[in-house]
Structure 1
Amino acid sequence: MFELIFILVFIATLLVTGITMMTVFAAAGFALAVMFLMGMVGVVFKILPWLIVIAIGIWFFKNHVYSSR
Structure 2
Amino acid sequence: MNPETFMRYRGRILGLLIAIVFSILYLTIGFGYTVAVAIFVLIGYLIGKWIDGDLDVSTYIQALFSRRD
Q: Same fold (TM over 0.5)?
A: no
Scaled to the shorter chain, the TM-score interval is 0.3 to 0.5
Q: Which has the higher contact order (CA 8 A, sep 6+)?
A: 1
More helix by share: 1
- With normalisation by structure 1, the TM-score equals 0.44
Which structure would you say has the larger Rg?
1
